[in-house]
A and B are shown apart, each in its own frame.
Chain A
Amino acid sequence: MPWRSGSHLYLLASLPVMAVLLAGAGFALQLDLADLPGFGKKKHAKLRDRPPGEYAYVFTRLAHYSPRGRSSRGHTWNTDYPKADRQFLQGVLRLTHIEAREREQVLRPMDPNLFAFPFLYAVEVGYMRLSEEEAARLREYLLRGGFLIVDDFHGSWEWASFLREMQQVFPDRPIREVELSDPIFHCFFDIEEKIQIPGLQYLYSGRTYEQDGVTPHYRAIYDDNGRIMVMINFNVDLGDAWEWADLPEYPEFYTSLAYRLGVNYIVYSMTH
């Protein structure tokens, strides 16, 4: 005999052991290392989320078209995305009973699922361009009961541009200042003052305004029953306040106000 039969046994016995070890290693690799203490930096917390249709509320960002070019760099729909959205949603979940999805979603105006999400958020609307089709769709969306928040646009040039686009949607409806007594400022928190919430640039410039947008304006387009369809936050930047909530230098005062306004907007959209 070349070798003893016993040696085969050892070889065979080691195979299952190796298999188990390999499996265990593979299993360990499956885990998100970020969850294990000490393994890598926590970039984004693991979100336990399901498809949007399974939640009562999903924060939906409108991916509007902005013209390409140097002038509009930095002024696109995804400004502050996704950190602002995520952090804001954490606030919503903590403060209210709303069954909100932890992850935001993004929809284009022509997306077939648009009508399943009656809440929309759009930023940098000074650089937004709506086609005729998109304007009609938005009009239908709002008249059926949808709610749109626009945020983070400053100065008279951006306003004029925004006004032009909105007049495609609602040629006959005026844009009015929202009174402090309006239910939108009292449906969850009571907002007693209209404060200018600055963007991150405040930390460098010391000014709460950008360009020539010195005065903050909270404006809206109303429907025939006096309900707000479009909430316009002009010369303020709620998005930045949500995004930089975890930055120690950004004043907590503005962050809190931004959260309070945002939560009020959501509660308003779900009650009116």
Chain B
Amino acid sequence: MGEAIFRFLFKYPPIAFSQGRLALASSWPVWVLLAAILLAAVLLGLYLWRLRSALPARARALVWGLQSLALAILLVLLWKPSLILSTLVPQQNVLAVLVDDSASMAMDDQGIPRVDQVKEILADSGPLLTELREKFQVRLYRFDKEAVRIDSAAELTASGASSHLQDSLAQVYSELRHLPLAGVIIISDGAENGSAAPRELMEEWKARKIPVYALGVGEEEFDRDLQIDEVSTPRTALPGTVVSFGITVRQQGYVGESARLEIRDGTEVLKSREIHFGRSPVETVQMSFTPKSEGIPEYTISIEPLAGEAVKENNSQSRVVEVQNRTAKVLYIEGEPRWEFKFIRRAMEEDRNLRLVSLLRTSQNKFYRQGIENEEELMDGFPGREELFRYDGLILGSIGVAFFSPEQQEDIYAFVSQRGGGILFLGGRYALGDGGYQSSSLADLLPVQLDQPDGSPTFRRTPVQFLLTPRGWDRLQLSEDEAANRESWENLPLLGNYQVTGEPKPGAVVLAEVVAPDGKRHTLLASQRFGRGRALMFATDGSWRWQMELDHTDNSHKTFWQQILHSLVSDTPPAVSISTDKALYLDDQHIRIQAEIYDENFQPVNAASTIATISLPDGSTVELPLQLSVEEDGVFRGEWEASAPGVYRVDVVARAGEKEIGRNSSYFQRADGSLEFFSAEQNVSLLTRLAEETGGGYYPLEEAGRLPEQLTYSPAGITVPEVRDLWDMPFWILLLFLLKGTEWILRKRWRSI
């Protein structure tokens, strides 16, 4: 609308003025014009002054002003104001039209599939293409994950598995960069799932001033839709461990409503939960369950579709978690006999996947070993570095830091940061602040600050209530059933004591707190990542009361301790490990494999031959030697293309000469076809950004008819300069009428001159 008025007044569209240059086309010099205007103004002024009219000076000045302005305009018009433009030479320039042909284009918008809308606009005999062909050599492409030249829009099928918009743009540009490319039209819904275009290409593009015009297809926003955006899961778990999925759900148009979220293993529903939608478009929930089967079970996370949903295919995703049947070894150093020690041992007694080896100092010079495999284990007390690194986790009880020699303290530090083990600090009268840890390097490991003591002991023997924080509710559970879980936590007896530490460190996760009798809150259970490993703190030694004060059939104490110790060692890396850059490859075939090879002292090994064997879903295998990475020690990499969907297994064997250093295995998952349905609403911002950065414009598909004209003003390609007259703009006439009209009205009012 505004443009129409502009064109009426100024003859040409705004783009012409922005691209072009204003100039005076007359051959007479500009200074003559300026002199003439000045002369006219002076003469007029003299005349009016001489007139000796009855009007006050101000009124006469006003009249003088209006009349000089009118004269000036007339003079300017004599000098032929013009607009100098570069216009494209017809048929000399190439125009590329890229059409999105991915599966998201098959979606209906108000009953008509997007691709059909496009075909109509781009029909060979249609007005758009005819007009464009008059001025340009038009090349038509369709793109999904790459661009392919087509002859006519009828060839569009909307069946591509992914939309790599920027990649395709880059591909077309590199094809046409030596031709006079006047511009590019992209017709897409913008729903892109590829990577961004390389920066150098975009810079070159912008330097050549090639405009990209984007025609947006599809609804800009779905009215109502639910989508599972992301599911974050651990890659591996020990049997019997609680696995926690973090599920992010995006909703549009369902504020205030609720839907049912389910996790399934095959057809069996493992966990389900109602999720309520508030004002925020994104909600994240944690759902935990214990995997029953071993191996690599595939779990489906889905949300029940609600009425009126635009797209139902984005309501579910699948994930795989490897349940490893390995036995983790945890070393527990305890400084004095106490009940907490006994009941922790009892809680872990029946766990087949975790062996608790303990070294208890029963008196000044006596140590009692339990859980050892043979007589030699821990024979010399606290193990040296090599033996220590064979454990997956370490628990320090009520034992002061002075018990450990400086080398042993260094070994413990390296155990966590270098070897990737887990360490758990318990509370006790010789532990944490009361054990002197604040002045040792081990204080770095703790997830809380250890405040300098003011002399009073930090170990407080007052019964307190164990309080889970919101993060704790997500990560720990005493029962699979939500109601039973809540009840179990609430029925827990008081803890016998607690230990005062300091503030949690920035990266720490606080899972539980206690409230002291004076009302102050203290961190009780916290964890943090450290180096390759992790550190936990449980600042009490009174959790054994949960076992003694609840019925002997109640498993709360046992479940709690199993979860804590499993979380301590679940992520501890073995000496040889292998992983892929993603666990799930959606419509993406490129697999990046990385293996980390360490020897038994957890030193990285570079001189190893590392071979990965990939087992495909159909049972066949492929061998892939991995290459040593130059940037990092002990890291070997390889790349592979996986086409068929399914679950793949990757086994790695590392050898130094004839000797085998170690082996391990991992898995990844390939899935196809569904990526297009996620975030399928039109991505206006992406398209607009592309257009604006290059000097083009974004138009919805209906306004495609404006394109040909816009394109003629493109600064790229082969152009000729054109001079267009501006003196016959209706604007001038209107302006003159305005000036003279105002003067006439004023004179009528004053009845003079």
Contacts and interface: CB of A to CB of B under 8 A. Distances in A.
B338 A56 contact: yes
Given A115-B548, A144-B552, A145-B547, A188 B362 contact: yes
B381 interface: no
Interface string A247-272: 00000000000000000001101111
Contacts of B550: 144
Contact of B368 (A56, A118, A143, A187): A187
B372 to A, nearest CB: 12
Contacts of A188: 362-363, 366, 368
Q: How large is the interface on A (under 10, 10 to 19, 20 to 34, 35 or more residues)?
A: 20 to 34
A54 interface: yes
B362 A267 contact: yes
A182 interface: no
Interface string B301-338: 00000000000000000000000000000000001111
B366 A146 contact: no
Nearest to A269: B342
A271 B429 contact: no
A97 B334 CA distance: 11
A54 B360 CA distance: 21
A53 B339 CA distance: 13
Interface in B418-477: 429, 461, 463
B349 A96 contact: no
Contacts of B337: 56-57, 96-98, 266-267, 270-271
B336 A56 contact: yes
Q: How large is the interface on B (under 10, 10 to 19, 20 to 34, 35 or more residues)?
A: 20 to 34
A59 B333 CA distance: 25
A272 B461 contact: no
Contacts of A140: 551-552
Contacts of B363: 95-97, 188
B545 interface: yes
A118 B336 contact: no
A203 interface: no
B361 interface: yes
A116 interface: yes
B336 A116 contact: no
Contacts of B370: 271
Nearest to B366: A188
A246 interface: no
B360 A56 contact: no
A133 interface: no
B548 A118 contact: yes
Interface string B656-692: 0000000000000000000000000000000000000
B136 interface: no
Interface of B: 335-339, 341-343, 345-346, 349-350, 360-364, 366, 368, 370, 429, 461, 463, 496, 544-545, 547-552
A35 interface: no
A225 B349 contact: yes
A184 to B, nearest CB: 12
Contacts of A146: 548
A99 interface: yes
A188 B368 CA distance: 7
A270 B339 contact: yes
A99 B551 CA distance: 27
A145 B368 contact: no
15 contacts: A56-B429, A96-B363, A97-B363, A99-B336, A99-B338, A99-B429, A116-B548, A116-B549, A118-B548, A144-B550, A145-B343, A145-B547, A188-B363, A188-B366, A270-B337
A109 to B, nearest CB: 15
A118 B342 CA distance: 10
Nearest to B363: A96
Contacts of B496: 53, 116
A189 to B, nearest CB: 9
A163 B173 CA distance: 95
Given A267-B368, A270-B339, A270-B342, A144 B548 contact: yes
Given A270-B338, A271-B342, A145 B361 contact: no
Contacts of A95: 363
Contact of B362 (A53, A54, A57, A96): A96
Interface in A66-99: 95-99
Interface in A37-57: 53-54, 56-57
Q: Which of A56, A225, A269 has the most CB of B within 10 A?
A: A56
Contact of B339 (A97, A118, A225, A267): A118
A53 B461 contact: yes
B336 A98 contact: yes
Given A53-B496, A270-B341, 7 more contacts: A57-B338, A99-B336, A115-B545, A115-B548, A116-B549, A269-B342, A272-B345
Nearest to A98: B337
Contacts of B343: 145
Contacts of B548: 115-116, 118, 144-146
Nearest to A50: B461
Nearest to A53: B461
Contact of A271 (B345, B366, B547, B551): B345
A98 B337 CA distance: 6
